[in-house]
Amino acid sequence: MDVVVACGLQHAYFGKTGVRYLGEKADVLKVRLESFLKEERAKGSTIFFAREVHQKEDPFYRTTKSHSLVGSPDIEIPEVFKPYVRLVLNTTRPSAFYMTPLESELHKVKPETVRVVGVETHMAILFTAEEFRNRGYPVIVPEALTASEDDYLHGLGINLLANALSAVVL
């Protein structure tokens, strides 16, 4: 059985009024991700959604604009993705493992392979993949199913995934 961790599939990035809306990238990515998640569900993969949820004064984000604040629409999962959610992992850091039950869920599922998709490639995707690699899981990151606000940082994230973490980037 495979596991998919979908990072950041929330209004902050995909909603036109989201604080970190990705614009045209979000529109293209939304179509690709919906198709991918539908295929993965049909194959029997376990799909986890990791979303960031922050307090207004979260010191971790001193240098970036606040986003995904508790109680705001930014944390909502867009309707198009809701049918594919098995479990939502609320985290306050880039890694889907940080203060979530992901590790215990993995012990139940015992995945052979992990696919990490979503946004931001240089943050959530990278740090979640790094945690999986630290635990010995094979990680696949389909580049067409990832994006970052900044194209340079996206490319940097992809480079680090492939060359520093030995993740398979398709």
Q: Cα 158 to chain center, whole Å?
A: 14
Say what the pTM is.
0.94
pLDDT of the residue at 61: 65
Write down the pLDDT at residue 66.
66
117: pLDDT strictly greater than 70: yes
Q: What percent of the chain has pLDDT over 70?
A: 96
* Confidence check: pLDDT of 143 > 80: yes
Average pLDDT over residues 92-119: 96
Q: Structural domains in the chain?
A: 2-169 (3.40.50.850)
Tens of pLDDT, residues 2-18: 999 999 999 999 999 99
Q: Which are the contacts of 104, defined by CB distance < 8 A and separation ≥ 6?
A: none
Burial of 57 (0-12, 13-18, 19+ CB in 10 A): exposed
Query: Average pLDDT over the chain, rounded to whole?
Result: 94
Can you tell me the mean pLDDT for 32-50? 97
Per-residue pLDDT at 37: 98
Task: Name which of 76, 88, 166, 87 is nearest 130 in CA terms.
Answer: 166
126-134 and 151-163 are packed helices; what angle lies between their axes, rounded to 10 degrees?
10
pLDDT in tens, 57-79: 777 666 556 677 788 899 999 99
Positive or negative torsion for Cα 19, 20, 26, 30: negative
